[in-house]
Amino acid sequence: MEPLFVIPCPTSDDFTALSSVPLELARQRRVMGQVFRKHILTEGPLIHPKTGQCINIDGAFMDSLQRNFQAGVGDIVQVPLANDANQHVENPAANLGEVVGLERKDRKLYALIDARQDADKFGKTYLGASAFLSTDYTDTSRGTKVGPTLLHVAVTNRPYVTNLEEYEPVAASMADYSGDEDLVVLTPEDPAMTKDEMLAALRDEHGIDVEALQNRAERAGDTHELTAALTAALTGGSGLQFSGSPEGVSAQDVIGAVAELAQLSNAQGETINGLLREKAEVRVDGYIAKGRLLPKSRGRAVEMVLSNDEAGLDAFLAPADRPYVALSSQVGLTGETDEGHTTDVASEVDRLQQQYSHHFTSNGATKR
């Protein structure tokens, strides 16, 4: 039986809500609830709570946990609620969500937990978490040992290991995120701004880097109408003039030009991403054709290629000389040949019938 151990966290009544933090997920399934960051492991010696064995949690151990999570070795890393005896359970009915990402910082490992049930209790009545690990897990898709692997993160209020950080809210449900960027709005009472002041305000106060958007559009080769319109709006022809001047363009003109350029950039980004995905799919299909990857793992492998996770992909693929599926192939001659038959087939059939006449009737049928 594989060695397993648990790492619970401390309890605390304090819970400080943080502002929204950008979240990049390492797994395919989308976020469906409230995401929390939870400190689950720290580098250093760990005493097994049952066997008393000292386990060295070092950088290599952490690397293995992240690598195997990224590769999907444990396909579903759930977040079950511990039972009344404070025991880990794998019952899906006790599950509160899923671990959708792992992060490293300052020799610590954090789980990004997508709380899909009782999310309002995390950090309030659900105070701690306990990592359930295998020190040398078996990858069932390959039948090989792959080292330390995270199996689940249980919610518990009675920890074995202390001095771990509390739940930290990371982002609201992705369904609540509209994706709309704030645009600077200038009222008629606003004083006139120079070009540099306008660009600085758009960049620093509203996160819109006009010059970067222009450069991105130029690199993509689509610089005709939008770049010209935005440049004209910002320069006002021969001299810089904004709202408040009869000859100047209004702030709304500038905002509209920025918004239109942003839309073009997004459309180009979608096109580029589509081409990159097609290229990744062709590469992954090549691995499948060679038997180095099972068809059911195609989607996960494509995401690894897109995220440039070459190390994770190499660990996920079967070696070239030992594929998952041994592919059969026909060996022989193809094309035209001048040799023809070297044996008269009809004469050979007659000879065999005569030699073994006790097995055949006069018309060549087999005797019963």
- pLDDT tens, position by position, 275-285: 888 998 999 89
Q: Is 186 in the same domain as 66? A: no
Question: Most confidently modeled of 59-73, 209-223, 311-325?
Answer: 59-73
For residues 311-332, one letter each, b for 16 or more C-beta atoms within 10 angstroms of the residue's C-beta and e for the rest, the string is: ebbebbbbeeeeebeeeeeeee
Q: Is the pLDDT of residue 171 over 50?
A: yes
- Supply the pLDDT for residue 292: 85
| 364 lies in some domain | no
More confident residue, 239 or 235: 235
Question: Most confidently modeled of 83-92, 241-250, 260-269?
Answer: 83-92
**Furthest CA-CA distance within the chain:** 116
Does pTM surpass 0.95? Answer: no
Q: What is the DSSP letter of 168?
A: E
Q: Is 165 in the same domain as 188? A: no
Of 8-12, 327-331, 335-339, the range with the lowest mean pLDDT is 8-12
| 37 lies in some domain | yes
Question: Most confidently modeled of 38-52, 90-104, 147-161, 283-297?
Answer: 90-104
- Supply the pLDDT for residue 331: 43
More confident residue, 67 or 365: 67
Q: Is the pLDDT of residue 247 over 70?
A: no
Q: Is the pLDDT of residue 217 over 70?
A: no
Please state, in angstroms and rounded to a whole number, the distance separating the CA atoms of residues 21 and 18.
8
| 306 lies in some domain | yes
- Angle, in degrees to the nearest 10, between helices 195-206 and 210-219: 90
CA 134 to chain centre: 22
CA 196 to chain centre: 39
| 36 lies in some domain | yes
The mean pLDDT value for 148-152 works out to 94
**Which structural domain range is residue 121 located in?**
4-176
Q: Is 263 in the same domain as 168? A: no
Q: Is the pLDDT of residue 43 over 60?
A: yes
- Supply the pLDDT for residue 158: 85
More confident residue, 354 or 290: 290
- Supply the pLDDT for residue 329: 45
- Supply the pLDDT for residue 253: 61
| 361 lies in some domain | no
| 226 lies in some domain | yes
The mean pLDDT value for 151-180 works out to 73
DSSP sequence for 254-306: HHHHHHHHHHHHHHHHHHHHHHHHHHHHHHHHHHHHTTSS-GGGHHHHHHHHH
Q: Is 328 in the same domain as 185? A: yes
Q: Is 8 in the same domain as 154? A: yes
Q: Is 172 in the same domain as 275? A: no
Predicted confidence band of residue 297 (pLDDT cuts 50, 70, 90): confident
Q: Is the pLDDT of residue 330 over 70?
A: no
| 24 lies in some domain | yes
| 67 lies in some domain | yes
Predicted confidence band of residue 26 (pLDDT cuts 50, 70, 90): very low
Q: Is the pLDDT of residue 37 over 50?
A: yes
More confident residue, 141 or 246: 141
Overall number of domains in the chain: 2
Q: Mean pLDDT for the chain?
A: 74
- Supply the pLDDT for residue 117: 95
Three-class secondary structure of residue 175 per DSSP? helix
Alpha helices in the chain (DSSP H): 59-71, 195-206, 210-219, 225-235, 251-289, 298-306, 310-316, 345-355
Q: Is 16 in the same domain as 116? A: yes
Q: Is 261 in the same domain as 286? A: yes
- Supply the pLDDT for residue 35: 93
Of 158-167, 201-210, 228-237, the range with the lowest mean pLDDT is 228-237
Q: Is 165 in the same domain as 187? A: no
- Supply the pLDDT for residue 259: 64
Q: Is 71 in the same domain as 36? A: yes
Q: Is the pLDDT of residue 199 over 70?
A: yes
Residue position matching structure tokens 């004469």: 347
Q: What is the DSSP letter of 238?
A: T
Question: Most confidently modeled of 12-21, 66-75, 155-164, 165-174?
Answer: 66-75
Question: Most confidently modeled of 50-59, 95-104, 267-276?
Answer: 95-104
More confident residue, 56 or 254: 56
Q: Is 160 in the same domain as 215? A: no
Q: Is 206 in the same domain as 60? A: no
